[in-house]
Structure 1
Amino acid sequence: MNEIKIPELAESITEGTIAEWLVKKGDKIEKGDPVVELETDKVNVEVNSDFAGVITEIVSEEGEDVEVGDVIAKIDENGEAGGDASAEEPKEEKKEEAPKKEEPKEPAKEDASNNKQDVIASPAARKRARELGIDLSSVQARDPLGRIRPEDVDSAAKGGSDKKESKPAKKEEPKKSEKTEFDKPVERVKMSRRRQTIANRLVEVQQEAAMLTTFNEVDMTNVMKLRSERKENFIKKHDVKLGFMSFFTKAVIGALKEFPLLNAEIQGNEIVMKKFYDIGIAVSTEEGLVVPVVRDADRLDFAGVEREIGNLGKKAINKELGLNDLQGGTFTITNGGTFGSMMSTPILNAPQVGILGMHNIQKRPMVMPDDSIEVRPMMYLAVSYDHRIVDGKDAVQFLVRIKELLEDPYDLLLEG
């Protein structure tokens, strides 16, 4: 009998959550076949089997937290698909030794297995039940919705499976505690591992960095005009659309070259000045915000930037991002305007010390240099920065430079 264990995933990843089993008990698999999808702090990864054979036991169920080295399944190299050979042999032996005693027990076991499928229990409760050898079908849930929790399993282990004795305690205690919290119906949903990581990191950034935000606005008239003029030839030539993100990426790189502290990070008592431009582009997914990185964006032309952003966005939506897609990054761009945001304060993507927030484009009356009033497509910009190494003067001038480059995009396009 061989064991499938959680392998070493990456230097910074030591644990994860079972997101989905790709096989079930009794399935025959080959060496190298993916058996489970694991949700980690950064991406979902597939765990492959190091052995060929038949899955005889699923040790960790979906929703359970596991660490590197944990056994999550067992596999029999000599087993046959569709059944658990190791479980069938002892049954035959028992029938030969005491057929009369075993006959009434077999249907009871089948009923219990059927009941287990109908039992509503949290992954932690199922794990606790396996540890204590408790049949979940004999455990009564305190939860009014019938969901069994670990404390219900512990209670059954201490007081036995006598349902009549446990009824009074199970009815009174939970209802009191729930009424003190909420008088109306609620639904509790466990945070995904990625959402927990996002929450923790955002809180850490606000606690550790001296974060400030400066705002400005940019007239998008010339960018929109240039896109309109070039979009047809651009897509014919490069087979990719000319979007806004390539303009902003190139403008950010141009400004970072003039204000390098916004492309740095703090390590201990040192400032690490980065001489490369790996730009993170925030992408919203069902499981939360991820920031894949466009590597060496300064070496790409507009088409290269658009193509890379498009590829990373598709991988994010399809949950195909790898660790290499997310690691590193020197500066981040986030676009709340896609959801209609007019203004926001973006939070730093540590250990980076700068992030640019784009917002919705809206037509507004603007006073021109000759005092005439024109309707212009305007966008608010926000730059959050770590005041520990970036002074307010540099942050303000950095954002002004981005504004200038975007309002005169012809030079930007030529230089890019």
Structure 2
Amino acid sequence: MTQITVPEVGESVTEATVGEWLKKPGDLVKAGDPIVELETDKVNLEITANEDGTLHEILKQSGETVVVGDVLATLVSGDSAATTPAETSQASTSAVSNDQPANPVQEAPVVRATPDVRRLADQEGINLSEVPTQGNRGRVTHTDVEAYIQQTREKAPVQPQFAPEAPQAPQSPEMPPLSSSPTQVTTSPAATDDLRPVERVKMSRRRLTIANRLVNAQHTAAMLTTFNEVDMTKILDIRQRRRDEFEKRHGIRLGFMSFFTKASIAALKAFPRLNAEIEGDEMILKHYYDIGIAVSTDNGLVVPVVRNADRLNFAGLEKAIAELAIKARDNKLSIADLQGGTFTITNGGVFGSLLSTPILNAPQVAILGMHKIEERPVVVQGQIVVRPMMYLALSYDHRIVDGSEAVRFLVLIKELLEDPEALLLEG
């Protein structure tokens, strides 16, 4: 009998939540087959079998909190199926009731979903096998469940709500009869609130960690944000002219992130304190450039890191960013993908954000916020013209970054983006 335990997944990760069981007792497994998912505060992990055998017993159920070393299940080595606890119980029952015909049990389809999605489905009384999925390799996501809930509510008939009639006051001989005007019903605030639909959804481990870190960043850093805007005309022109050739040569589309990453690295080299962190009474100035790229997923925001981004050309950056984004959305990021990082770029423009104040990704001391490209009238050489403009936001830790330094840093990024050829010279 082999034990399947919670492995060590990183120095800072000590707990996890049991996610979806991908195998059930009695299933034959091969070495390397994924058996169960674990949800940590950083990534989702698939625990695999170390050898061929049969899954014997599941000891930790979906939603349970586990720590490193806990036994999740047991595995019987070998290719032959082992008798599971469920099979033993079924055999005993059959021996007692031999005169009754066996009823075939319809096996429920296996549905892939994270623990927080399962909790939402349980609270709403939804069978996950009935929820249609939108990609994600058959995995049911929060978006799928919420869309199903909305669709169900739209189809459900609306029941009219009637207020209870107020009791008639007793008539006294000395009092005149009550008038026949309509009765006014007074409902207490508490009674009104009871009729309003509410939903309680337990936050996932990752969501709780994100919340704690964002609050901690605001409490510990002297955070300030400065703004500027950039004319995207020349970058859009380059992308339009070179798009097909670039994709044919490198197998990847030329996006915006490579331009912004290149410009940020050039500015970090000119203003090294924005590529630092604070440790006690010291500043740690980092002379390498591991750039974090914020990615939104169903389970919350994650920031995978492009290592040594200064050594990559435009195609290398686009490929690295695309690979990390795909891994993030497929819950395939490793702890190593998320560790470190010296500076972060976040793009709220993909969701339509025109302006925002990004929060620091501690212990980093600066983060660049991109936004939606919008055509606006601007004055160029005394003439009013329409240009594709983007607002930029730089949040920084004022404890070690002076205001003038932050402003000049952002101005340099603006100048480099408005003159993309300068990025080639910087590279």
Q: Aligning the two structures, in what range does the TM-score lie when normalised by the shorter sequence?
A: 0.7 to 0.9
| Misfit runs of 4+, over 4 Å | 89-92, 143-146, 178-182
Amino acid aligned to 1:248: F
Sort the Cα spacing of 1:40 and 1:179 in 2 relative to 1 into closer, same or farther, 3 A. Answer: farther
The CA distance in 1 between the partners of 2:124 and 2:201, in whole Å, is 16
**1:248 to 2:256 alignment:** no
Amino acid aligned to 1:379: M
SS at match of 2:4: strand
**1:387 to 2:398 alignment:** yes
CA contact (8 A) 2:265 2:289 kept: yes
Normalized against structure 2, the TM-score is what? Answer: 0.74
The CA distance in 2 between the partners of 1:395 and 1:295, in whole Å, is 24
Question: Where does residue 202 of structure 1 map in the other structure?
Answer: 214
- For 1:2-401, what aligned pairs fall within 5 Å after superposition? 2-50=2-50, 52-77=52-77, 80-81=80-81, 83-84=83-84, 88=88, 182-369=194-381, 371-401=382-412
CA contact (8 A) 1:277 1:296 kept: yes
SS at match of 1:226: helix
Q: Greater share of helix residues, 1 or 2? A: 1
The CA distance in 1 between the partners of 2:362 and 2:349, in whole Å, is 22
Sort the Cα spacing of 1:54 and 1:403 in 2 relative to 1 into closer, same or farther, 3 A. Answer: same
The CA distance in 2 between the partners of 1:378 and 1:85, in whole Å, is 65
Question: Where does residue 175 of structure 1 map in the other structure?
Answer: none
State the Cα deviation string for residues 23-77 of structure 1 (Å, max 9, x = none): 1011122444321111111111111234543222211111221111112112334
The CA distance in 1 between the partners of 2:312 and 2:399, in whole Å, is 31
The CA distance in 2 between the partners of 1:76 and 1:228, in whole Å, is 59
SS at match of 1:413: helix
State the Cα deviation string for residues 158-199 of structure 1 (Å, max 9, x = none): xxxxxxxxxxxxxxxxxxxx9797541222222121111111
The CA distance in 1 between the partners of 2:303 and 2:194, in whole Å, is 37
State the Cα deviation string for residues 356-411 of structure 1 (Å, max 9, x = none): 00001111111123x21111111100000011111111111111111111111112
The CA distance in 1 between the partners of 2:234 and 2:27, in whole Å, is 60
The CA distance in 2 between the partners of 1:350 and 1:274, in whole Å, is 15
Amino acid aligned to 2:338: L
Sort the Cα spacing of 1:8 and 1:368 in 2 relative to 1 into closer, same or farther, 3 A. Answer: same
SS at match of 2:25: coil
Q: Cα RMSD between the aligned structures?
A: 3.3
CA contact (8 A) 1:356 1:383 kept: yes
Sort the Cα spacing of 1:206 and 1:375 in 2 relative to 1 into closer, same or farther, 3 A. Answer: same
Task: Give the Å deviation of 1:3.
Answer: 2.5
The CA distance in 2 between the partners of 1:3 and 1:365, in whole Å, is 67
The CA distance in 1 between the partners of 2:75 and 2:245, in whole Å, is 57
Task: Give the Å deviation of 1:81.
Answer: 2.4
Aligned length: 352
The CA distance in 2 between the partners of 1:287 and 1:277, in whole Å, is 27
Amino acid aligned to 2:398: H
Task: Give the Å deviation of 1:252.
Answer: 0.4
Task: Give the Å deviation of 1:85.
Answer: 6.8
Question: Where does residue 149 of structure 2 map in the other structure?
Answer: none
Structure 1 gap segments, 5+ residues each: 115-122, 124-142, 147-177
SS at match of 1:329: coil
Normalized against structure 1, the TM-score is what? Answer: 0.76
Task: Give the Å deviation of 1:144.
Answer: 11
Task: Give the Å deviation of 1:315.
Answer: 1.6
CA contact (8 A) 1:302 1:413 kept: no
Tell which deviates more after alignment, 24-33 or 218-227: 24-33
State the Cα deviation string for residues 203-226 of structure 1 (Å, max 9, x = none): 111111111111111111122122
The CA distance in 2 between the partners of 1:181 and 1:12, in whole Å, is 42
The CA distance in 2 between the partners of 1:284 and 1:252, in whole Å, is 21
Sort the Cα spacing of 1:185 and 1:229 in 2 relative to 1 into closer, same or farther, 3 A. Answer: same
State the Cα deviation string for residues 291-329 of structure 1 (Å, max 9, x = none): 111111111111111111111112222222222211111
